[in-house]
């Protein structure tokens, strides 16, 4: 544990690494937006609360025991016109996230968005696919996010994966893990994609584990379905809600922290290249504690450790 300081939250290196914006291996891009949230608000504060919690972390990690020579730099947040209509804001964030990601990728670095609601990484996902030509998407989430223009919002947190499926053919495979809350139209759409979208629902995961498969075997199957270049989108509500009570749409069930970390460990050791990632939907704890921020900060660290082998 480290002492809290009055350092700025952004434009600095984190996780006890030493780097600058130009020398970092991983660049965190904060985007504090939750304008299409359909249940609980507050994830616009996700970047701020996670950054404030990071000094409380220590970095000895049994899941990732080998030392990694990588630097993690938190860039300045993406700004947008908060007074505009939600679809206009969504379009602006998409364009700015894509532009920032291209700058990072062109420097040979890996972009990682820290949200904010789940709509915010769409532009970055598209930029990563454009950069390498073909990617697979590993989505940890309680929801499919396959609704078309949910509640009239083109760039909705509930539509982000649908937008990718419909508009980004370079994302050739999407594997969704921890899913447990969706409408009939969403699962019908997923099943109509000729295998492009593979859903590992909560029930399937835990049934297979109860029937004798280890979590490592399950996660190796999951990661094995993805192409050589992958993007990891981690919605914190993929975890059990006791770990993220302040998220926008918590759902009973979900992965434990250890199960999610084991999945990220398999990603790290898979030999596949992680070209980008995001952590979204972290919100302030309802009881005013720092619990959600603490879990979010630890999840961000694990996510960066999963990305790090691709930065060598």
pLDDT tens across 253-271, in order?
Answer: 999 999 999 999 999 999 9
For 57, counting Cβ atoms within 10 Å of its Cβ (0-12 exposed, 13-18 middle, 19+ buried), the class is: middle
According to the model, what pLDDT value does residue 180 have? 98
Q: Are 149 and 155 in contact (CB under 8 A)?
A: no
Please check whether residue 4 lies inside any domain of the structure. no
User: pLDDT-based confidence at 96, cuts 50/70/90?
Assistant: very high
According to the model, what pLDDT value does residue 158 have? 87
- Whether 3 has a pLDDT exceeding 60, the answer reads no
According to the model, what pLDDT value does residue 152 have? 76
Name the DSSP letter for residue 75. P
Nearest to 127 by CA among 88, 93, 175, 81: 93
Please check whether residue 1 lies inside any domain of the structure. no
According to the model, what pLDDT value does residue 34 have? 85
According to the model, what pLDDT value does residue 67 have? 61
According to the model, what pLDDT value does residue 155 have? 84
Please check whether residue 6 lies inside any domain of the structure. no
Q: Which helix (H) or strand (E) holds 115?
A: strand 110-115
Give the β-pairing of 12-14 and 72-74: antiparallel
Choose between 65 and 306: higher pLDDT: 306
Please check whether residue 305 lies inside any domain of the structure. yes
Q: What is the pLDDT of residues 44-86, one digit of tens each?
A: 999 999 999 999 999 988 888 776 678 999 999 999 998 888 8
Q: What's the mean pLDDT in 278-301?
A: 97
Q: Which helix (H) or strand (E) holds 267?
A: helix 257-268
According to the model, what pLDDT value does residue 40 have? 64
CA dihedral in degrees (90, 96, 102, 105; nearest 10)?
A: -90
Please check whether residue 5 lies inside any domain of the structure. no
The CATH number of whichever domain residue 103 belongs to comes to: 3.40.800.10
| Residue 82: both structure tokens together | 């908060």
| Residue 190: both structure tokens together | 């997923």
- DSSP 3-state of 210: helix
Q: What's the mean pLDDT in 99-123?
A: 97
According to the model, what pLDDT value does residue 138 have? 99
Q: Model pTM?
A: 0.95
Please check whether residue 3 lies inside any domain of the structure. no
- Residue 238 and residue 143: Cα distance in Å, rounded? 8
According to the model, what pLDDT value does residue 62 have? 87
Range of the domain at 138: 12-311
Which residues, in sequence order, are bridge partners of residue 175? 138, 198
The contacts of residue 283 (CB under 8 Å, 6+ apart) are 34, 40, 41, 42, 43, 45, 46, 49, 244, 246, 247, 248, 292
Please check whether residue 200 lies inside any domain of the structure. yes
According to the model, what pLDDT value does residue 153 have? 79
Please check whether residue 197 lies inside any domain of the structure. yes
Task: Provide the percentage of residues in the chain whose pLDDT is more than 70.
Answer: 96
Query: What domain count does the chain have?
Result: 1
């Amino acid at each position: 544990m480290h002492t809290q300081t009055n350092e700025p939250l952004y434009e600095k290196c984190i996780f006890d690494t030493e780097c600058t914006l130009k020398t970092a291996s991983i660049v965190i891009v904060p985007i504090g937006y939750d304008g299409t949230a359909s249940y609980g608000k507050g994830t616009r504060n996700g970047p701020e609360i996670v950054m404030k919690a990071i000094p409380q972390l220590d970095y000895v990690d049994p899941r990732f025991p080998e030392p990694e020579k990588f630097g993690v730099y938190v860039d300045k947040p993406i700004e947008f016109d908060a007074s505009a209509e939600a679809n206009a804001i969504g379009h602006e964030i998409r364009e700015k996230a894509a532009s920032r990601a291209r700058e990072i990728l062109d420097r040979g670095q890996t972009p990682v968005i820290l949200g904010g609601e789940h709509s915010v990484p769409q532009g970055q996902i598209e930029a990563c696919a454009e950069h390498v030509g073909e990617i697979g998407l590993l989505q940890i989430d309680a929801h499919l996010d396959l609704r078309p223009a949910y509640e009239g919002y083109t760039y909705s947190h509930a539509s982000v994966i649908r937008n990718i499926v419909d508009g980004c053919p370079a994302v050739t495979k999407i594997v969704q893990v921890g899913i447990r809350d969706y409408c009939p139209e969403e699962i019908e759409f997923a099943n109509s994609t000729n295998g492009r979208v593979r859903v590992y629902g909560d029930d399937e995961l835990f049934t297979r584990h109860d029937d004798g498969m280890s979590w490592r075997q399950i996660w190796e199957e999951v990661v094995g379905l993805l192409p050589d270049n992958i993007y990891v989108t981690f919605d914190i509500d993929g975890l059990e809600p006791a770990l993220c009570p302040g998220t926008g749409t918590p759902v009973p069930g979900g992965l434990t922290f250890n199960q999610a970390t084991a999945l990220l460990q398999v990603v790290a050791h898979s030999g596949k290249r992680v070209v980008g990632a995001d952590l979204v939907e972290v919100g302030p704890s309802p009881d005013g504690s720092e619990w959600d921020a603490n879990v979010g900060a630890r999840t961000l660290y694990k996510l960066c450790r999963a990305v790090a082998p691709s930065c060598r």
